[in-house]
Structure 1
Amino acid sequence: MTFATYTAGGETCYGAVTDGGLIALNDIFPQWPTLFDAVQAGGLAALGEAARGKAVTHESVQYEMVLPTARRILCVGVNFPDRNAEYKDGSDLPKYMSLFPRFASGFTGHDRPLIRPPESHTLDYEGELAIVIGKTGRRIAQADAYDHIAALTLCNEGTIRDWVRHAKFNVTQGKNWDNSGALGPWLVPFTDAAQLDEARIVTRVNGDIRQDDLVSRMLHPIRRQIEYISTFMTLLPGDIIVTGTPTGSGARLDPPHYLKPGDVVEVDVSGIGTLRNTVEDEAI
């Protein structure tokens, strides 16, 4: 069973996703007003039990960023061999992973438009798999890392490319434009290592495959990501790690193919689903 944050009838809710619609759960669990609160409390199993046998409450919804109240989102950069090779020093595999923060305001939900700002038309896509932490930990061993994952979701880590290059040592300003990326559509509870170890990330733009790679080929595997990040900060339930994008972004095509209004971007991972977004210009 999967869980989403959504808006229906002017009200923001969270609930269980079914083929026929969504089953609202927030009224059943007033102690968890948001899906983020449920994750923090280790409540995904309870949500699943509560939804069993219940009727659909909302057939038509607008998906929101799956955890809109997430407090910490860390992204791993340059984490596939072919992606690393795009850089001048690509012959040397990085000893340590690149990390940068993103904020919830930079993400929208499934079937919502990514927003291209007037300041730059270099909006680019990055299809990724994201993990949601479910258990507090510091200095977590790789062997124990998967025990700290509550759920999986998908990310289009939309980037304003020229703003990434404004400064010498950081990319934060190019990674946090309002509604430039998407997280969702839902949370898939993490119950089996194969959900990650056998996962394949595929990104399509207007139906054409642009990115296609295996999670198992990451330079810094997800177990290592959890180990490394938890060395310098305590990982908390509800923290999100966006684990890295394969080669094939629009900036690396010749000539570059940046996203434009009317484009449709789909990020797909079997067992999790498809995150779909259109593109619109920002209304000024």
Structure 2
Amino acid sequence: MTARFATYIADGTRYYGAVADKGMIDLSAHFPQWPSLLDAVADGGLATLARAADGEAVTHTDVTYDMVLPNARRILCVGVNFPDRNAEYKDGSAQPKHMSLFPRFASGFTGHDQPLIRPPESDQLDYEGEVAIVIGKAGRRIAQADAYDHIAALTICNEGTIRDWVRHAKFNVTQGKNWDKSGAMGPWIVPFTDTAQLDDARIVTRVNGEVRQDDTLSRMMFPIREEIAYISTFMTLQPGDIIVTGTPTGAGARFDPPRFLKPGDVVEVEVNTIGTLRNTVEDEA
């Protein structure tokens, strides 16, 4: 089985470790040089973690999943990256020449099996199922042919969005993309060891069991190799940086009438090469 690493809470303490069938294998206690899973990624330590977990017994069975890399410093998201998504805007525009990008912050994400939080300021909480890549090797002006060499791991993102708040300014979606715990990332990261993990990946998003999004990464307008090359043109990518690579058509805002998330809903984002990220929805207390 492919190694899976998660950040989790047990007995009020945050740990990271390997995901087993019946719980977690704590690894954080054995690697004081890596205070967090992000530190292990940045130091190229995932293979070491996998070896350390091999054959070890489960240490925690009652756990709460945290955002998988809760101290991620930089998260960049690619917008409108599937051909049908461009058509959803119904503005007659051709495929854009360059990709759209915006930042998200770790505070905007919760973990697997945790609630997405709908704020009192808006009832337009929406879902976006995506694959996220975690950079493992620094680079600037990375060639597309070399791009995959810079990926350490993969995870799943529900890039939850407060839709009316992405319209608060003419050129800025940042407000609608960064509400506390409006999205989720996890459940785990899996080391990137085979190009098929991306090239054959399929994203399926379900709300209360109903399929809302279903597409393959192979149909992206801006493939992941191009994303890495383009982003690294203007900024040096660093180990631990996360790129959220784009969502297929079918977000709630694009239905007529819109189908936004409401308390009690269950959202699942399944990626066949990674796993399934599941979240409920609650109103902010």
TM, length-normalised to structure 2: 0.98
Partner of residue 158, structure 2: 156
Partner of residue 143, structure 2: 141
Amino acid at match of 2:195: A
Give the drift of 1:262: 0.1
84-93 or 247-256, which moves further after superposition?
Answer: 84-93
SS of 1:267's partner is: strand
Which structure 2 residues correspond to residues 39-54 of structure 1 after superposition, within 5 A? Answer: 39-54=41-56
- Map Cα deviations across residues 41-80 of structure 1 (whole Å, 9 max, x no partner): 0100000000011110011210000000000000000000
Partner of residue 189, structure 2: 187
1:169 aligns with one of 152, 168, 171:
171
Distance 1:252 1:144 in 2: 36
Partner of residue 251, structure 1: 253
Amino acid at match of 2:223: P
SS of 1:210's partner is: strand
C-alpha change, 1:90 and 1:213, in structure 2 (3 Å) is farther
Amino acid at match of 1:65: M
Gap runs ≥5 in structure 1: none
Distance 2:264 2:22 in 1: 28
2:77 aligns with one of 65, 75, 78:
75
Amino acid at match of 2:84: D
Partner of residue 215, structure 1: 217
Amino acid at match of 2:213: Q
- Map Cα deviations across residues 123-157 of structure 1 (whole Å, 9 max, x no partner): 00000000000000000000000000000000000
Give the drift of 1:89: 3.9
Which structure 2 residues correspond to residues 24-103 of structure 1 after superposition, within 5 A? Answer: 24-103=26-105
Amino acid at match of 1:32: W
Which structure 2 residues correspond to residues 258-277 of structure 1 after superposition, within 5 A? Answer: 258-277=260-279
Distance 1:146 1:264 in 2: 33
SS of 2:35's partner is: coil
1:228 aligns with one of 216, 225, 230:
230
SS of 1:23's partner is: strand
Distance 2:97 2:195 in 1: 25
SS of 1:144's partner is: helix
Distance 1:183 1:220 in 2: 22
Distance 1:25 1:247 in 2: 38
- Map Cα deviations across residues 82-126 of structure 1 (whole Å, 9 max, x no partner): 001112445411110000000000000000000000000100000
RMSD between aligned alpha carbons? 0.6
Amino acid at match of 1:164: V
TM, length-normalised to structure 1: 0.99
- Map Cα deviations across residues 247-267 of structure 1 (whole Å, 9 max, x no partner): 000001111111000000000
Distance 1:264 1:114 in 2: 9
Amino acid at match of 2:259: H
SS of 2:41's partner is: helix
Distance 2:43 2:92 in 1: 42
1:7 aligns with one of 9, 29, 32:
9
Percent identity reads 79
Distance 1:126 1:196 in 2: 18
Distance 2:91 2:195 in 1: 33
Distance 2:18 2:92 in 1: 43
Confirm whether residue 197 of structure 1 aligns to residue 199 of structure 2.
Answer: yes
Give the drift of 1:20: 1.4
Q: Aligned pair count?
A: 283
Distance 2:102 2:269 in 1: 21
